[in-house]
């Protein structure tokens, strides 16, 4: 049995990078990573979702949605969560 990397599997089932279906998948995975990083940082700071929501003037359910699917979050809100809510620094990179 030959072992394949995750990138090989994604290419096999979704096509190479640049194919619309593969690009959609990569964007969705990145959104999940953002939500996971927010959850991890919140838990490391021993904050509940309610605590974090209160710090940025949002509802707990909003924080839950961001942590489980960060896809539709605005940059403004992302900055608020990371910097005001979690006391971190947000760096954004763009690649071409």
Q: Which tokens in the block code for residue 23?
A: 């690009």
Tens digits of residue pLDDT in 37-64: 999 999 999 999 999 999 999 999 999 9
* Local structure of residue 71 (DSSP, 8 states): G
Inter-residue contact 60 to 50 (CB < 8 Å): yes
CA 96, chain centre distance (Å): 20
Q: Is 10 left (phi over 0), alpha (psi -120 to 50) or beta?
A: alpha
CATH no. for 6-85 = 1.10.260.40
* Local structure of residue 73 (DSSP, 8 states): -
**Domains of the chain by residue range:** 6-85
Residue closest to 35 by CA, chosen among 86, 88, 85, 78: 78
pLDDT number for residue 41: 97
């Amino acid at each position: 049995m030959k072992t394949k990397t995750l990138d090989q599997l994604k290419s096999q089932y979704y096509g190479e990078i640049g194919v619309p279906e593969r690009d959609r998948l990569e964007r969705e995975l990145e959104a999940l990573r953002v939500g996971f990083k927010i959850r991890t940082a919140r838990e490391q700071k021993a904050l509940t979702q309610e605590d974090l929501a209160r710090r940025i003037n949002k509802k707990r359910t909003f924080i839950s949605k961001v942590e489980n699917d960060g896809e539709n979050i605005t940059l403004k809100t992302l900055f608020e969560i990371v910097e005001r809510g979690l006391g971190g620094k947000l760096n954004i990179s763009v690649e071409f």
